């Protein structure tokens, strides 16, 4: 079939043609946006899920919804090697620049700009072309304590946004990579603007351990945020995610082919897109049938092995690779840490630091005490499939 018309979009954060099965999350986000804008209490959200479940796509959708509701938006992907203050500075400066053109907000924006100048100075942020032509306000956002200073900045921006009749929506992906003190400062700042009923709201996304990390950073985080779980799609939503785009192109797929895709992908959105994409390109004509799916599977697995899986495996040290391979050799997870240790002929305590490093790299997580599992769906299959090459 014509590859130019292929409706599927496998890729990190790529918007699928059909955002199936996420209506409740989007609806709750829109309600929170509307309530925050009018000064009503609404909880910020942390989207939790494994790799490939569509968290980034959801953040993009929430960003679009926020802009429709009158918010200025700032999107950040939290890397592992850059301070939060440095990540936030250009976004906060950009928001204040936009607010400065609104007459009703000029005074409040000027105050916030002065605070931002002090913030940049105390955290040694290289301003470059984004320098601010105001003097800092002594005693505001310049203590050098991120918890205090980030709260000052959020309040200053919130006051300026309120004066302008706008809101500020901050969205951060991969939140689990923030340092504990940075996550704590972010939580405190969100708590502060909520107490003052300012039009500022936060949406984050991260791996399942993020809920625990937030609670460790600040105990009240569990009451401050809602934690929607972004998992595999149920059968109906997964079915629609494949069939809907094909129907839109006025082509067809057989029920047996759909069942084959659902069984192989286990309903994970990223894999649904990959199999949909490859199945379309493999089929000579409509309808796409089960034979096409079986042929497409070989191409899909090779693409995943060479890219999606391999990139993550290559980040591990030889000892860490040994650990995750041992996990896969035990079958399907979750796995008991003690069983992995026994399989490797080591004690659990001795392997603790190695396990912690793999968790820190976002490759595994602990669904409950004593258990571990992969953050990447089907990663165990990849390891078993390629054991002779990577072992």
Q: Specify the pairing of strand 200-206 against strand 364-365.
A: unpaired
pLDDT (0 to 100) of residue 387: 81
Q: Where are the beta strands (DSSP E) in 273-345?
A: 335-336
Is the pLDDT confidence value at 129 over 60?
Answer: no
Peptide bond into 284 cis (omega under 30): no
Provide the pLDDT confidence category of residue 127 given band limits of 50, 70 and 90.
Answer: low
Give pLDDT tens digits for 183-200.
Answer: 999 999 999 999 999 999
Provide the pLDDT confidence category of residue 280 given band limits of 50, 70 and 90.
Answer: very high
Residue positions counted in the chain? 391
Of 138 and 178, more confident: 178
**Cβ–Cβ under 8 Å, residues 175 and 205:** yes
Q: What is the mean pLDDT of residues 163-185?
A: 96
Q: What is the SS3 assignment for 7?
A: coil
Closest to 326 in 3D by CA, of 358, 302, 279:
358
The predicted model scores a pTM of: 0.91
Paired with 200 in beta bridges are 168
Give pLDDT tens digits for 323-347.
Answer: 999 999 999 999 999 999 999 999 9
Q: What is the mean pLDDT of residues 1-15?
A: 84
pLDDT (0 to 100) of residue 14: 64
d(CA 166, CA 271): 38
d(CA 225, CA 219): 11
Query: What tokens appear for 238 in the block?
Result: 């997964």
pLDDT (0 to 100) of residue 389: 75
Cα–Cα distances in angstroms (integers) from residue 210 to residues 40, 183, 193, in the given order: 26, 10, 22
Is the pLDDT confidence value at 74 over 90?
Answer: yes
CB environment 208-238: b (16+ within 10 A), e (fewer): bbbbebbeebbeebeebbbbbebbbbeeebb
């Amino acid at each position: 079939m014509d590859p130019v018309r292929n409706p599927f979009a496998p890729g990190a954060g790529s918007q699928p043609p059909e955002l199936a099965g996420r209506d409740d999350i989007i609806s709750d986000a829109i309600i929170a946006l509307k309530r925050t804008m009018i000064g009503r209490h609404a909880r910020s959200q942390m989207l939790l899920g494994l790799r490939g479940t569509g968290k980034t796509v959801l953040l993009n959708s929430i960003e679009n919804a926020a802009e429709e509701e009158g918010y200025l938006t700032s999107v950040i992907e939290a890397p592992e090697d850059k301070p939060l203050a440095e990540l936030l500075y250009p976004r906060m400066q950009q928001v204040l620049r936009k607010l400065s053109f609104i007459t009703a907000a000029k005074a409040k924006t000027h105050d916030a700009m002065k605070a931002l100048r002090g913030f940049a100075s105390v955290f040694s942020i290289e301003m470059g072309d984004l320098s601010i032509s105001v003097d800092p306000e002594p005693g505001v956002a310049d203590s050098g304590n991120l918890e205090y200073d980030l709260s000052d900045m959020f309040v200053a921006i919130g006051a300026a946004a309120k004066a302008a009749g706008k809101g500020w929506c901050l969205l951060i992906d991969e939140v689990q990579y923030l340092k504990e003190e940075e996550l704590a400062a972010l939580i405190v700042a969100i708590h502060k603007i909520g107490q003052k009923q300012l039009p500022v709201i936060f949406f984050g996304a991260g791996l399942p351990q993020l809920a625990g990390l937030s609670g460790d950073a600040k105990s009240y985080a569990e009451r401050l945020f809602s934690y929607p779980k972004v998992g595999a799609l149920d059968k109906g939503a997964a079915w629609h995610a494949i069939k809907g785009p094909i129907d839109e192109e006025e082509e067809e797929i057989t029920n047996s082919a759909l069942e084959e895709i659902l069984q192989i992908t286990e309903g994970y959105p990223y894999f649904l897109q990959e199999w949909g994409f490859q199945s379309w390109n493999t089929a000579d004509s409509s309808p796409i049938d089960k034979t096409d799916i079986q042929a497409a599977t070989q191409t899909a697995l090779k693409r995943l092995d060479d890219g999606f899986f391999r990139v993550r495996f290559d980040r591990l040290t030889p000892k860490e690779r040994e650990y995750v391979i041992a996990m896969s050799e035990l079958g399907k997870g979750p796995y008991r840490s003690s069983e992995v240790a026994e399989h490797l002929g080591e004690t659990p305590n001795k392997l603790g630091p190695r396990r912690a490093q793999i968790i820190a790299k976002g490759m595994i997580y602990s669904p409950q005490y004593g258990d571990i599992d992969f953050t990447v769906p089907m990663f165990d299959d990849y390891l078993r499939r390629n054991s002779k090459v990577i072992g």
